[in-house]
Each structure stands twice: as C-alpha cells, then as structure tokens.
Amino acid sequence: MVAPGDGKKLREGVAMVEYELHLLHNYLIVGALLFGIGTIGFLARRNMIVMFLCVEMMLQGVSLSLVAWGRYHGNWGGQVLVIFILAVAACEAGIALAMFLMLYRRSGNLDMIFWQSLREENQSETVDVEIPEPDEADHQWPILTPAGIEPDHDTEKPLHRSHV
Amino acid sequence: MSDSVRTLLILIPGLPLLSAVVTALLGRRVLRHWSHLPTILALGASCAMSLMLLLEVRQPAPDDSTSGSVRFAQVEPLWTWIDVKDAFELNGQSRDFTVEVALRADSLTSVMLVMVTFISTLVAIYAAGYMRGDDGYGRFFAYISLFVFSMTMLVSVSNFVLLYVFWEAVGACSYLLIGFWFQKPSAAAAGKKAFLVNRIGDFGFAIALFLIWTTYGSLDFHGPDGIFGDKLLSGEAAYVGGGVGLAICLLLMVGACGKSAQFPLHVWLPDAMEGPTPVSALIHAATMVTAGVYMVTRCSPLFFASAADPYVVGYGLDAVAISAPMVVAGIGAFTALLAGLIALTQNDLKRVLAYSTVSQLGYMFLSLGTGSLIGITAGMFHLFTHAFFKALLFLGSGSVMHSMGHVIDMRRFGGLRKIMPYTHWTFLVGCLALAGVFPLAGFFSKDAILIEVFVQGHSHSPTAAYYQVLYCVGIVAALLTAFYTFRAFFMTFYGPLRVPAEAGDHAHESPMSMVAPLCILSVFAATVGLLLSSSFGQFLVQTPSLAYVAGQEAAHATGSHHDHHHAHQLVATTSTLVALLGIGLAAFLHLGNRSQAQWLATRWWSAWFYRLSYGKFFFDEIYIVLIVWPLRLVAGFSYLIDRYLIDGIVNLCGAIPPMIGSRLRSTQRGIVQYYAFASIFVLMFFLVAALYFNDFVN
C-alpha cells in the first residue's frame, strides 16, 4: 500500500539525491581543478615561494573535496580532517618559509635551480640556456598615477615586471 | 689411595697447562727473561708427581684375579664430553656413543709420564740457557708447556677419541715449534712439511677409529665394553682377526708411521731439525715421535688377534698369510736399515741424529712386530732408554751449536774436545749408549729386541724365515748405528782444532744451565739399562692390555725359555762385536786424516752408493715428482676454474645493477621538479591501472 502523499515525497527525495550529487560533482570539479592547477604550477614554476603556494593550492583542492564528501555522506569526518589539514599546513608553512629564508640567505636567490646539489655524481649541473640577467627594468615598480590627473602615457616605460 | 691417584692424574697435565697459560699471557710484558720459571717449576712438579704415581702403580693390586698375572689400571672419569644415545646397533644391541674425559693410571701410562716429564724438565732447564736472548723467549716456553700438557694427556687418556685429539695437539705443538723461527723460510717450510706429512698418517688413524667403532661398538679403553675393557680382556668377547682385524691394525700403523716417522712417511723428521735444538731433543727424539710406539703398544691385543688369525691372500700353495705384526716388523726393520744408510754420509750433526732417531724408532717397531710380550716390553724399554741417550745427544749437539755460532756442519769444525770437555764426555756416553756398548743403556734394550727377533726366527712357526731375515737386517742396522754415531763423534770432537768464523774468538764451553742437564742425562743414559733391564718388563706387564697378551701366550705356551737363554749369549756377543766393529771402522775412516773416507767416496764402485746415501735416497725428490707436482697441477687447474669461471659468474651478477644504474643515473639531476614529475606520473600510472583492473575484475 502506498500512501497518497508518498509519491510526492518520493519525488522530492529523488530530487534531493540528485541535487546532492550535483553539488558533490561541482565541488569535486572545483577541488580537482585546484589540485591540477597547483600541480602544474608546482612543476612549472621555479620560485620557491610560488612553488610553495602551489602546494598549498593542491592541499586546498584536497580539503575541498574532503568537505564535499563529508557533506554528501552526511557526517563530519571530512570537515574534521580538513581542520587537521589546516593545522598541519600552518606548521608546514612555518617550517617551509623558515627554510626558504635560510636558503635565500645563502644563495641570495629564490630560484630552485640553485639548489640541485643532490644530483647524482658525475651529472653535469643543469644550466638554463640563458638565465636572464636581472636588469634595471626588474627593479622598477609600477608607478601609480596621481589621483585625478591624466597620466602621461609614455609607451616606452614598462608598467610591470617581465617575470617574477 | 684412589684419591691421591686422581689428584696426581689431574695435576700432572694440569700444571703444564697452567704454566702455558700464564707464560702466554704474561711472558711478553711481565715475565720477559724470567719466562722459563713457570715452565720449569710446573714441569719439575709434574715430574715429581709422575714419580709418585709410578710408586702408587707399583704397589700390587689389592684384589687379584684368577689368571695369576697381576693387572692394575685405575680409571678416573672427569666429565662426559659427548653422549649420544643409541648411536649404533651392534649384534642386535644398541650402543651409546659416549666420550668420557677419563684419565687412567697403569704401568704403561706411568712409565711414559715419568719419561716425558723428566726429559722435558731437563730440556726446559737447558733451554733457559740455550734460548737466552731470543725474541720469542716467552713464546718458546709457552709452547713447551703446552706440548708437555698435550703429551701427558696423550699417554693418560682412556679413550680413542681423546687419544686422537691429543695426538693432533702434540702435532700442532710440533708444528709451532719447528716453525719457531718462522722468519727463516726453511723453518717455515719444514713446519709445513711436518704438518702435512702427519696429516696423511692421521687420516689413516682416523679411519682406524671408525673401523674400531663399527667393529667393537666402543671407543673407550675401559669399562665393560671398552676395547681393553673387562669383557674383551677376560675372553667373554673376542678380538676380531682376519681382514677387518688386519685393516684396523694397518690403519693404526699408518697413523703411527706418520707420528713416529717410519717409512714411507719418514721424510718430515730430518727437516724438523730446523726447530730450536731443545725442541729437537724433546719432541723429535724423546717424546712425541714415540707416541706411535706407545699407541701400538696400547693396542697390542688388537695386533695379537691379527697374528692369531692372519689374513690369507691367494689359494693353495701360493697362499700368503699376512698378519699385522709381520707388517709392523717389516716396516720397522726396513726403516731402521734405510735411515741408518742415509745417516752414514750426512754432514749436518743434527741430521745424523735425526736419521738415527728414525732408525731407532724402526728398531722399536721391529720389536713390537714380533707380536710377543717380550718383544713388546723390549720395544717399550728401548723407547725408555732411547729417550735418555737421544735427548742427551741432541742437547750435546745443541751445546756444540751454541758455542759454534749456530754452525752445525761437521766439516767446518773439529777437535772440540779441548774447548768443550763436558760436552765431549757426555756426548761420548750418549754415543756409546746409542751404539749399544756394554754396560750402557742402549746395549740392554737393543739386545732385548734382537734376542726376541732371533727367537722368533728360530721358532717353529711359519713366519720364522721372515724373522730370520729381519734379524740380519737388525744386526746390519746395529753396525750402521755404531758407525754413523762415532763418525759424527770423531768428526766433531777429534782431529785438529777448527772453529768456524761465526763462532768468533770466544768459542767456549756452554753455561752451567746447559751443562748440568747433560751431566744428569749422561748418568741416566749410562745406568738406566743396567738398573731396569730385569724389572721393566715385569712392571709393564701389569698393564691390562699387555697382561692379556701374557695370558694368551701362557695359554699357547711353547716353552721357549731354553731358547731365550741360549739366544741371549749368542746375540749379546754378536751385537757387541758388531758395535765394536762399527766404532773401529768409524775410527779408521774418520779419526786420522780422513783420506780413506775421501778415497772411498770417489771410487767408481762406491761413489754411486755415497751419492745415493748423501742424497737421502732421493725420497724428497721422488715425492715431489709423484705427489707434489700432480697435486700442484690439480691445484693450479682448480685455481684457474675458481679465478675465471666461478669468479666470472659472480662478477657478472655483480655487474648487472651498476649497468642498470648507469642508465638511470642521468635522470637524477637534483632538480625538485623532475622528482615531483616522476612521482606524479607514477602515481597517475598506478591510479589508471587500478581503475582499469577494478573495472576488469568487477
């Protein structure tokens, strides 16, 4: 026997499940995107701080999917884990940044390429085809135009650094 | 009484062991030139206790058996070394394999103990003077103590396995002491040679033990089932003759040949003279080399059984009955003759004495090979007297060496009687004893041997003709003994005074610590034969295994006492004449200007013999061609296989990981991104693989 209101409830239930699934998919997609961007950033960039930021981004992607799964399953496990991750990430950030600071003091540079001494013996050092010399332009910071004054558009002046 | 025997039996080997440990630990740092003190004290105490043990054993046994002959043996078990239950089944009875560390006191043991400890005490006193100033002074006395421990244990253990253990231990001490001056290549080589030749003999001995175990089911001397235990000696169980009995005896004889330097394993003893002279006197003349004689004497019931039931080869008229005593006698007589012939022409004083030792040991085996009780006791008596005069002669030659600046070639010195009067007179006593001149020790013991061989040769047994030949060989060997002994004596002490340059201008008599042992030994070498010739045999026959032989002989008595008395006069006359003839010949050839000896060495009809004897019958060369070279070839071949085939395979296996590594090394560039990429890539690979296989499985 099916009660008169049952069909509506059932339909509502199905809609809820589909909604939850959609929601999960969306969050997982965003999480995967964050993870993927972080990965690519980690592989592609050489500045240690930027690499560290990329790692954090990967971590956040994972955290997001954990929260999403937690909601989908209707328990707090995912969120509890994320709190732990945040705490651990904070510690890790502290350690990592301290290490970067020390490395910077030694080499005067944040480029990862200066720290390849763990390579195998007899392997030649990896040298960039051309390590760009820091030129004058790099040390010029963007200049804010004075408020309310029409800036003189000097096209020869660079507005931002060519690279980080 | 029993307690005191036990204490004595433990202390006699225990004190030398203690002194060996103390000297080895403290010799280099603490004792230094006092290193001889612990050894001399321990050996002297051991000697005194051996004499006490001899007196204990001399008392007649409290109860006595029905057989009439007095037996005495006291076995003191200390602890059980090996105990395997039901190791072997013999005639439906299971036997336990037990090795009990037990010491025994009987006549044979106590005689050997007195001889070993007495000689070693004198040699240790002598060595304190002889070895003074040597770098290895402490090491030397540690070895000597260790040797005396091993030797006293060898003669007092009551088990074949332990006998074997200490048989090896004295061999190891001998090796260490021959190679004592190991910086000298010839000494190191001589030590190695002695060790390797002895291995051949020990191999035979080991197989003999296996055979005894499978035949009798026991390796103990004592106990109800022991080889010289109650059942076998009382006739309740029988000794095995025939092929097995012969095999056991011959394999034991192989062991004895190795240790006692009998043909064909005699080659190591002359080379062993590379060791310090006290060692030659103690180990290679008086004690260790007689271990083979002791062992054969101990096993005389086994040999007696083989004689009673010989192994017959062939059929009908061609049949030849071989018994173990015949082989022992043959080897002994042949060795006595061979070594005597070689000793005739050697120029090295110590080598003459070494060949003389080999020859005298041959006499002892000839005597044991008569297979009769009188023969066995005569052999032991010769062992006993020989220890005194041969140790005396070796110590005398050491004294000569000491003052001649370690020159031992007799052609380079002469006329030393004026410089070294004590050495000269004591050496003369030793020579007379060795040559067998009445009334010195050698006369009595050698005569006892020759008489017994003579009696065997004139018995009605089928082997009589064989022993007649051996008697002639023995007489010839006695002639040779007298000749080479006095040749060495005359060459060293007579003629014009000549001193080699090495001695410098201070050639003089040796110090008191060396002369005193010589004098003591010469007194014993002169008198021991006369004093003991009658009582020695009666005392020794209390040993259970010899008492068994006596009982068996009494059972098959043929009444040869008359023969003995008659033979005594004949043989004594013959051997004395032969000894005097040898001495006279030596005097004729070597006392004057020695032109006759030169003449004899260069005639065509005698030069070949001179060369043969001088070259030691080329045994070393024959062995090198027949044994050493083939072994070297095999070893070289094995080396090549090992070096190139086996090592090649191993190296190939070892080369694989570096080869792979060298390919992969280029990826290790120390850049973080590379590693990150590799780990991400691999992770992705496994993720994809896991997804794929999950789908596949579900």
Q: What are B465-484's pLDDT values in tens digits?
A: 889 999 999 999 999 999 99
Distance from A125 to chain B by nearest Cα, in Å? 8
Q: Are B671 and A51 inside 8 Å of each other by CB?
A: no
pLDDT digits (tens, 9 = 90+) for B275-312: 899 999 998 888 999 999 999 999 999 998 888 888 88
Confidence check: pLDDT of B66 > 50: no
Q: How sure is the predictor about B512, in pLDDT bands with cuts at 50, 70 and 90?
A: confident
Evaluate whether residue A55 is within a structural domain.
Answer: yes
Q: Are A123 and B669 inside 8 Å of each other by CB?
A: yes
- This prediction has a pTM of 0.77
From chain B, the residues in CB contact with A47 under 8 A are none
Whole-angstrom distance, CA of residue B5 vs CA of residue B54? 10
In this predicted structure, what is the pLDDT of residue B364?
A: 93
**Interface probe, candidates B671, B679, B681, chain A, greatest A C-beta count within 10 A:** B671
Number of Cβ atoms within 10 Å of the Cβ of B558 = 10
Question: Is the alpha carbon torsion for B302, B304, B309, B314 positive or negative?
Answer: positive
Report the residue count for chain B: 698
Whole-angstrom distance, CA of residue B293 vs CA of residue B557? 26
Residues spanned by the domain of A39: 14-114
CB pairs under 8 A between A and B: 39
Q: Write the CB contacts of B271 (distance below 8 Å, at least 6 apart in sequence).
A: B178, B189, B190, B193, B194
Q: Are B680 and A43 inside 8 Å of each other by CB?
A: yes
In this predicted structure, what is the pLDDT of residue B149?
A: 95
Q: Write the CB contacts of B189 (distance below 8 Å, at least 6 apart in sequence).
A: B271
The distance from CA A74 to its chain's CA centroid, rounded to whole angstroms, is 28
**Interface probe, candidates B664, B667, B668, B673, chain A, greatest A C-beta count within 10 A:** B673
Q: Are B669 and A119 inside 8 Å of each other by CB?
A: yes
Q: Are A120 and B669 inside 8 Å of each other by CB?
A: yes
Query: B103 forms bridges with which residues in the sheet?
Result: B76, B157
Report the residue count for chain A: 164
Confidence check: pLDDT of B41 > 60: yes
Confidence check: pLDDT of A5 > 70: no
From chain A, the residues in CB contact with B678 under 8 A are none
Evaluate whether residue A130 is within a structural domain.
Answer: no
Q: How sure is the predictor about A160, in pLDDT bands with cuts at 50, 70 and 90?
A: low
Mean pLDDT of B202-218: 91
Whole-angstrom distance, CA of residue B427 vs CA of residue B393? 6
Spatial contact of B674 and B667, defined as CB atoms under 8 Å apart: yes
Token pair of B171, please? 């061999």
**Interface probe, candidates A113, A116, A119, A121, chain B, greatest B C-beta count within 10 A:** A119
Evaluate whether residue A89 is within a structural domain.
Answer: yes
Evaluate whether residue A66 is within a structural domain.
Answer: yes
Whole-angstrom distance, CA of residue B579 vs CA of residue B437? 7
Name the nearest CA neighbour of B358 among B347, B345, B342: B342
Whole-angstrom distance, CA of residue B686 vs CA of residue B87? 61
B205 vs B600, which has greater pLDDT? B205
Query: B159 forms bridges with which residues in the sheet?
Result: B220
From chain A, the residues in CB contact with B666 under 8 A are 120, 123
Confidence check: pLDDT of B377 > 60: yes
Name the nearest CA neighbour of B247 among B290, B289, B305, B293: B305
In this predicted structure, what is the pLDDT of residue B73?
A: 81
Mean pLDDT of B607-614: 82
Look at residue B591 and give its three-state secondary structure.
Answer: coil
What Å distances lie between residue B303 and B94, B160, B195, B273, CA to CA?
27, 16, 27, 32
Whole-angstrom distance, CA of residue B602 vs CA of residue B594? 13
Give the CATH number for residue A41.
1.10.287.3510
Distance from B672 to chain A by nearest Cα, in Å? 8
Nearest to B671 among A42, A44, A116 (CB): A116
* Residue B414 per-residue DSSP state: B
pLDDT digits (tens, 9 = 90+) for B538-572: 888 888 888 888 888 887 765 555 566 777 888 88
Name the interface residues of A facing B (CB cutoff 8 Å): 39, 42-44, 46, 51, 112-113, 115-120, 122-123, 126
Q: Are A119 and B676 inside 8 Å of each other by CB?
A: no
Q: Tokens 């009769």 appear where?
A: B372
Q: Are A126 and B677 inside 8 Å of each other by CB?
A: no
The distance from CA B342 to its chain's CA centroid, rounded to whole angstroms, is 20
The half-sphere exposure of A43 on its side-chain side, counting CA atoms within 13 A, is 13
Percent of chain B with pLDDT over 70: 96
Taking the C-alpha atoms of B535, B323, B159 and B547 in order, what is their torsion angle to the nearest 10 degrees?
A: -30
Q: Are A123 and B673 inside 8 Å of each other by CB?
A: no
From chain A, the residues in CB contact with B676 under 8 A are 42-43
Where helices occur in B268-348 by DSSP H, the ranges are 268-271, 277-281, 291-298, 300-308, 324-343
Nearest to A43 among B669, B670, B676 (CB): B676
Taking the C-alpha atoms of A10, A11, A12 and A13 in order, what is their torsion angle to the nearest 10 degrees?
A: 50
Confidence check: pLDDT of B67 > 50: no
Distance from B653 to chain A by nearest Cα, in Å? 23
Token pair of B238, please? 């029988």
**Ramachandran class of A22: left when φ > 0, alpha when ψ lies in -120 to 50, beta otherwise:** alpha
What amino acid occupies position B227?
A: I
Mean pLDDT of A36-46: 92
* Residue B316 per-residue DSSP state: G
Phi, psi of A47 (to 5 degrees): -70, 130
In this predicted structure, what is the pLDDT of residue B588?
A: 85
Spatial contact of B141 and B39, defined as CB atoms under 8 Å apart: yes
Question: Is the alpha carbon torsion for B134, B138, B142, B148 positive or negative?
Answer: positive
Nearest to A43 among B668, B669, B677 (CB): B677
The residue of chain A nearest to residue B664, with distances taken between CA atoms, is A120
From chain A, the residues in CB contact with B681 under 8 A are none
From chain B, the residues in CB contact with A46 under 8 A are 673
Look at residue B59 and give its three-state secondary structure.
Answer: coil
Domain count, chain A: 1
Q: Are B673 and A42 inside 8 Å of each other by CB?
A: yes
Q: Are A119 and B677 inside 8 Å of each other by CB?
A: no
Q: Write the CB contacts of B549 (distance below 8 Å, at least 6 apart in sequence).
A: B300, B301, B304, B372, B373, B376
Percent of chain A with pLDDT over 70: 77
The distance from CA B372 to its chain's CA centroid, rounded to whole angstroms, is 23
Evaluate whether residue A36 is within a structural domain.
Answer: yes
The residue of chain B nearest to residue A119, with distances taken between CA atoms, is B670
From chain B, the residues in CB contact with A58 under 8 A are none
Evaluate whether residue A70 is within a structural domain.
Answer: yes
Q: Are A116 and B669 inside 8 Å of each other by CB?
A: yes
Q: Are B668 and A119 inside 8 Å of each other by CB?
A: yes
Whole-angstrom distance, CA of residue B460 vs CA of residue B468? 12
Distance from A66 to chain B by nearest Cα, in Å? 19
Name the interface residues of B facing A (CB cutoff 8 Å): 665-666, 668-673, 676-677, 680
Phi, psi of B260 (to 5 degrees): -100, 15
Whole-angstrom distance, CA of residue B298 vs CA of residue B279? 26
Whole-angstrom distance, CA of residue B392 vs CA of residue B384? 13
Q: How sure is the predictor about B47, in pLDDT bands with cuts at 50, 70 and 90?
A: very high
Q: What is the DSSP string of chain A?
A: ---TTHHHHHHHHHHHHHHHHHHHHHHHHHHHHHHHHHHHHHHH--BHHHHHHHHHHHHHHHHHHHHHHHHHHTSSHHHHHHHHHHHHHHHHHHHHHHHHHHHHHHHS--BGGG--TTSPTTPPPP--S-PPP--GGGGPPPPPPPTTSPPP--TTS--S-S--
Percent of chain B with pLDDT over 90: 44
Q: Are A119 and B666 inside 8 Å of each other by CB?
A: no
The mean pLDDT value of chain B amounts to 87
pLDDT digits (tens, 9 = 90+) for B127-172: 998 888 888 888 999 999 999 999 999 999 999 999 999 999 999 9
In this predicted structure, what is the pLDDT of residue B126?
A: 92
Evaluate whether residue A45 is within a structural domain.
Answer: yes
Q: Are B671 and A43 inside 8 Å of each other by CB?
A: no
The residue of chain A nearest to residue B665, with distances taken between CA atoms, is A120
**Ramachandran class of B107: left when φ > 0, alpha when ψ lies in -120 to 50, beta otherwise:** alpha
Evaluate whether residue A136 is within a structural domain.
Answer: no
Q: Are A117 and B670 inside 8 Å of each other by CB?
A: yes
Q: How sure is the predictor about B697, in pLDDT bands with cuts at 50, 70 and 90?
A: low
Mean pLDDT of B89-109: 86
Whole-angstrom distance, CA of residue B298 vs CA of residue B546? 8
In this predicted structure, what is the pLDDT of residue A157?
A: 64
What does the H/E/C string look like for B206-244?
A: HHHHHHHHHHHCCCECCCCCCCCCHHHHHCCCCCCCHHH
Where helices occur in B344-497 by DSSP H, the ranges are 349-368, 373-403, 421-435, 441-457, 464-493
Least confident of A90-94, A139-143, B23-27, B470-474: A139-143
What amino acid occupies position B162?
A: L
Spatial contact of B35 and B141, defined as CB atoms under 8 Å apart: yes
The residue of chain B nearest to residue A42, with distances taken between CA atoms, is B673
Token pair of B548, please? 């068994």
In this predicted structure, what is the pLDDT of residue A145?
A: 64
Distance from B674 to chain A by nearest Cα, in Å? 8
Nearest to A123 among B668, B672, B677 (CB): B668
Q: How sure is the predictor about A112, in pLDDT bands with cuts at 50, 70 and 90?
A: confident
